Amino acid sequence: MSVEILLVPVALAAAHAVVAVAGAVTAAVGDDGTERKAIAVQTRLKHPGLLVDALVSVGARATSHTDGSVSGTWEGIAFRFVHNEDGTLSAHLDADVDVARAQELILVTDSAYAKAVQDAVAQRVRDRAGELGMTVESETVDEDESVTLVLNVDQVRS
């Protein structure tokens, strides 16, 4: 052992909590783009493509748009995710939505998104290790669902 580092994938923001309700705003909600009273929910999610996959995996209907936003519905709740200046996505939901249900949507989506990120990072390691002179020696999945890959780096110039 010589150095231990903690990293956060660029698809996730390190500084944000998993979910935080930011309060009332006027914003487009759902697919029609019409602005109305809404609540904004801050997330740590950043990648629209992974977000659509995550939303679909939890039973939502979701569509990404050319401006990077993602709209759709989940169990009757219309939503639209839009980018903030820091690259994270906030969810806009109808103001009359039950806040607990809104948080449930964000939490299940966050969990599915995190799983998608985990899968994507592991696949990236498998795909790119060889290009960087590394060899995947082993791969294990632990009880907590974490994935550990051990790379041999003898061929990497340092």
Partner 1 sequence: MSRRIAITINRDGGIKAETLGIKGKNCLDYVPLLEELLDAETVQSAFTADYQAGEVHLPPSTTTVNEQPS
Q: Nearer Cβ to partner 1, position 85 or 96? A: 85
Long-range contacts formed by 132-138: CB under 8 A, 24+ apart:
132/156, 133/157
Query: In residues, how long is the chain?
Result: 158
Which among 30-38, 54-62, 81-89, 123-131 is the span making contact with partner 1, rule CB under 8 A? Answer: 123-131
In the complex, what is the shortest distance from the CB of residue 88 to partner 1, in angstroms, rounded to a whole number?
A: 13
In the complex, what is the shortest distance from the CB of residue 73 to partner 1, in angstroms, rounded to a whole number?
A: 25
Handedness of CA 55, 56, 61, 62 (dihedral sign): positive
When asked if residue 112 is in the footprint of partner 1 (CB under 8 A), the reply is no
**Cβ-contact 79, 71 below 8 angstroms:** yes
In whole angstroms, what is the distance from residue 23 CA to residue 151 CA?
45
Number of shown-chain residues binding partner 1 (CB under 8 A): 40
In whole angstroms, what is the distance from residue 125 CA to residue 65 CA?
29
When asked if residue 98 is in the footprint of partner 1 (CB under 8 A), the reply is no
In the complex, what is the shortest distance from the CB of residue 39 to partner 1, in angstroms, rounded to a whole number?
A: 24
Enumerate binding residues for partner 1 (CB under 8 A).
Answer: 1-12, 14, 113-115, 117-118, 121-122, 124-125, 128-129, 132, 134, 137, 144-154, 156, 158
